[in-house]
A = this chain, B = another copy of it.
Amino acid sequence: MCFPVTRRFHWERLEQFTEKLFEKAGLPKQDAKTVAESLVEANLRGIDSHGVVRTGIYMQRIEAGMISIHEEMEVNEDGPVILLDGKNHIGAVVGDKALQLAMDTTKKHGVSLVGVKGSNHFGTCAYFLQKALKEDLAMIILSNASQTMPPTGGIRPFIGTNPFSFAAPAGKHNDFILDMATSVVARGKIINAAQKGEKIPLTWAVDKFGNDTTDAEEALQGAVLPMAGPKGYALSMFIDILCGVLTGAGFGQYVNNMYENWKDPQNVGHFYIGINISKFMPMEQFKERMDQYFDEIKAEPKAPGTSEIYIPGELEFRCKEERRKKGIELPLKVEEELRNWGDHFGVDLDRALISIEEVVE
C-alpha cells in the first residue's frame, strides 16, 4: 500500500521560492524578501503556525487588492516617540520598518516608542526581535489581532490573541526570546491542527455556542480561550490599548479578520518599546549577568520526568539549528497550496525540496 508522505524542504530554497512568489505578485524585491524571510524563519524556529502556511492568505489578499503594496508609509517622529502609518502595506514590511525606526531611535535616545497603525498580520514578533538582538538591544513588541477570544464572562470572540514579546541578549547562552499569544495557545496552532486534520486538547477553545470542543474546525468557528482566565483577558486588552486605541489602528472588533473580511483593510496595530541596555550598564556586564541567571536556573533540581529546564526561546534556537540541517517538513495541504501558487506564477517548488545528500545528521 502507498500512503501520501510529507516532504522536507531546504530552508534557503524555500525562502527563495516564497520570495519569488511575492515578487511575481507585485512586491518590490526587498519587500518580497522580508516577507519570505519572516515566514521561513517561523518554520525554522518550529512556529509552523506562522510559517509558509500563511503564504496563501497573504497572496490572496494581495491579489484581491486588500493589501496596498506600493504606497509610501508615513512616519511622524517626535524625539523618541514615533507614529508610523503602514498605509495598509503588507504586515512584515510594516513591522520591519517599525523595527528599523525603533532601533535607530533607541540607539540615539536610549529608548523608543513606535506605535503603528494601518498594518496587516505581520507574522511572529520573534522575527523582528532577532534583528534587534543583533544590535544588542532589548525590545518589547506587541501586536493586536482580529477577534478570537471572549472576554472573561463572555461567550463569543471579542479580543484578539494579541501577542506579547520581549527579547534581551545573553553572552555564552542563547538570547532570551519570549514570544507568546495571550491565549491558551496561538490560534495558528488550531489552524495548523485543522490543516493536519488533528484533534485539539479540550481546554484550548470553545465552539460557536460556547461549548468546549476538541474539533479544530469547530474551534476555528468558535473562540480560543485567554491564558490564565482573567489575567490573559486583561493582558490582551492592555496590548489592544497600546496597539489599537492609542495608535489610531483598529481595536476590538475593528481589527478585521484577514480570512473573512474581503472589503476592508485589516488595520492592525503594533507597538514597539526599544531599550538601550548600555544606558544602564556596560553590555559585557549585562550579558554576564544574563548568563549567570540562566546558569543558575538551568542548574535547579528538576521535577520527575524533566530532563532539562529551558530558557524561553531555547527550544526554538535548537529547532532552528536542526531544521537548517535536516530541512523543513511541510504538511501536504501546505505543500499543495504552495505548488498551486508556484504553478500560477511559473515558480518551481520542487527546486526547494531537500535531497538526501544534503541532510546533515
Complex contact A240–B300 (CB within 8 A): no
- The answer for the CA separation of A224 and B115 in the assembled complex, in Å, is 36
Q: Which of A217-246 contact B (CB under 8 A)?
A: 227-228, 230-235, 237-238, 240-242, 245-246
A154 with B301, Cβ < 8 A, contacts A79-B109, A81-B111, A234-B312 known: yes
A156 at the interface (CB under 8 A from B): yes
* Interface-facing stretch out of A14-22, A258-266, A290-298, A331-339: A290-298
Question: In angstroms, how far is the closest chain B Cβ from the Cβ of A317?
Answer: 14
Please, which residue of chain B has its CB at the minimum distance from the CB of A83?
Answer: B280
Q: Which residues of B sit under 8 angstroms from A300, Cβ to Cβ?
A: 150-151, 154-156, 158
A180 at the interface (CB under 8 A from B): yes
Residue in A150, A286, A312 with the greatest tally of chain B CB atoms within 10 Å: A312
- The answer for the CA separation of A290 and B111 in the assembled complex, in Å, is 26
Q: Which of A192-233 contact B (CB under 8 A)?
A: 210, 227-228, 230-233
A128 at the interface (CB under 8 A from B): no
Complex contact A227–B231 (CB within 8 A): yes
Question: In angstroms, how far is the closest chain B Cβ from the Cβ of A147?
Answer: 10
Complex contact A113–B275 (CB within 8 A): yes
A62 at the interface (CB under 8 A from B): no
Complex contact B152–A310 (CB within 8 A): yes
Q: Which residues of B sit under 8 angstroms from A312, Cβ to Cβ?
A: 230, 233-234, 237-238
- The answer for the CA separation of A308 and B293 in the assembled complex, in Å, is 43
A245 with B301, Cβ < 8 A, contacts A80-B111, A153-B308, A234-B178 known: no
Q: Which residues of B sit under 8 angstroms from A151, Cβ to Cβ?
A: 297, 300, 309
Q: Which residues of B sit under 8 angstroms from A253, Cβ to Cβ?
A: 296
Interface string of A277-289 (1 = CB under 8 A from B): 1011100001001
Complex contact A252–B296 (CB within 8 A): yes
Please, which residue of chain B has its CB at the minimum distance from the CB of A112?
Answer: B111
Complex contact B248–A155 (CB within 8 A): no
Residue in A113, A166, A308 with the greatest tally of chain B CB atoms within 10 Å: A113
Q: How many chain A residues have a CB neighbour from B under 8 Å? A: 72
- The answer for the CA separation of A241 and B290 in the assembled complex, in Å, is 8
Question: In angstroms, how far is the closest chain B Cβ from the Cβ of A90?
Answer: 23
Complex contact A302–B109 (CB within 8 A): no
A247 at the interface (CB under 8 A from B): yes
- The answer for the CA separation of A238 and B280 in the assembled complex, in Å, is 16
A273 at the interface (CB under 8 A from B): yes
Complex contact A110–B80 (CB within 8 A): yes
A78 with B279, Cβ < 8 A, contacts A112-B111, A153-B303, A303-B153 known: yes
Complex contact B277–A152 (CB within 8 A): no
Q: List 27 A-B contacts (CB under 8 A).
A: A81-B110, A81-B280, A83-B279, A113-B279, A115-B280, A138-B246, A153-B302, A153-B310, A154-B306, A155-B301, A155-B302, A176-B237, A178-B234, A178-B237, A227-B228, A228-B232, A230-B312, A237-B311, A237-B312, A241-B293, A245-B286, A245-B293, A246-B275, A248-B280, A251-B293, A252-B293, A252-B296
Closest CB pairs A-B (n = 8): A81-B110, A153-B306, A234-B312, A227-B228, A228-B228, A154-B300, A178-B234, A81-B279
